[in-house]
Amino acid sequence: MKNFEILVKRELKILFVSVKHILSYSSFFLLVFLLFAFSVGPNLKTLSSIYLPILFMIILFSLILTSENFIDEDFKNGCFKELQFLGFSPEQIFLAKSFSMFSSIIFSNFFLIPLTSLLFGISFSATITVFYIFLLSSPTLVLLSLISALFSLQIKRNKFIQFIIVMPFFIPIVIFASSTDIFNYESSNNENFLILFGFFLITLPISIIIGKLLIKETNQ
């Protein structure tokens, strides 16, 4: 447990000292969001009705396209091998990377979601609901994105194959997250919240096992 805490502190220090991960995610997020907003037009009613699906699709693609940044440098400079040589298990490395990535998108979206909600005419109460949905769905999206990035190391960065392998697993999370009614409180929303949390409980152990195997493969 102590080793894991040391590893998490290392990842968080790297994350907040070098803010390139946060900047790359945030810049891509804002650019795509603004393109969507301008393409739809100034009709706030139309914008607000499609806000949630657009939000989660952009979060998804932002995560996939920036997830490699969290592991690429450690892979190239041999840190994965060095950390395992120092006694850190592949599971600890994977979880520490996941926590760092999760912290990055939480920090970024703490500002991005209210900003984009304002642009789309979303009320404050609906924005709180959006952020709650994001908190429930983002751990699963982070785990899958990191698995996707580790896969890309094994398949020589072929993005097309990477999307084919991993994308189907993202679809259920995006569907249940974006189908939640953020403007009206209904019991069906509670069901969606439980389903999103259930996805995380299922994804966590499977991701740890796959992440462990993929990190071990980087030593080959």
pLDDT(202) > 90? yes
CA 59 to chain centre: 7
- SS3 of residue 89 by DSSP: coil
- SS3 of residue 1 by DSSP: coil
pLDDT(185) > 60? no
- SS3 of residue 159 by DSSP: helix
Q: Which residue has the higher pLDDT, 141 or 151?
A: 141
Query: For 205, which DSSP code?
Result: H
pLDDT classification of 120: cutoffs 50, 70, 90: confident
Burial category of 51 from C-beta neighbours within 10 Å (exposed 0-12, middle 13-18, buried 19 and up): buried
Q: Which residues contact 30 (CB under 8 A, 6 or more apart)?
A: 112, 116
pLDDT classification of 158: cutoffs 50, 70, 90: low
**Per-residue confidence (pLDDT) for residue 220, from 0 to 100:** 61
Q: Please tell me the total count of domains within the chain.
A: 1
Q: Which region among 109-113, 116-120, 185-189 has the lowest average model confidence (pLDDT)? A: 185-189
Q: Which residue has the higher pLDDT, 212 or 179?
A: 212
pLDDT(203) > 90? yes
Considering the chain, what is the average pLDDT of its residues? 81
Tens of pLDDT, residue by residue over 57-91, are 888 888 887 777 778 777 777 788 888 888 888 89
pLDDT classification of 193: cutoffs 50, 70, 90: confident
**Per-residue confidence (pLDDT) for residue 78, from 0 to 100:** 77
pLDDT(52) > 90? no
Q: State the residue range of the domain holding 150.
A: 2-217
Q: Which residues of 136-169 are buried (b: 16+ CB within 10 A; e: fewer)?
A: bbbbbbbbbbbbbbbbbbeeeeeeeebeeebeeb
pLDDT classification of 208: cutoffs 50, 70, 90: very high
88, 3 contact by CB (below 8 A)? yes
- SS3 of residue 8 by DSSP: helix
pLDDT classification of 141: cutoffs 50, 70, 90: very high
Confidence (pTM): 0.86
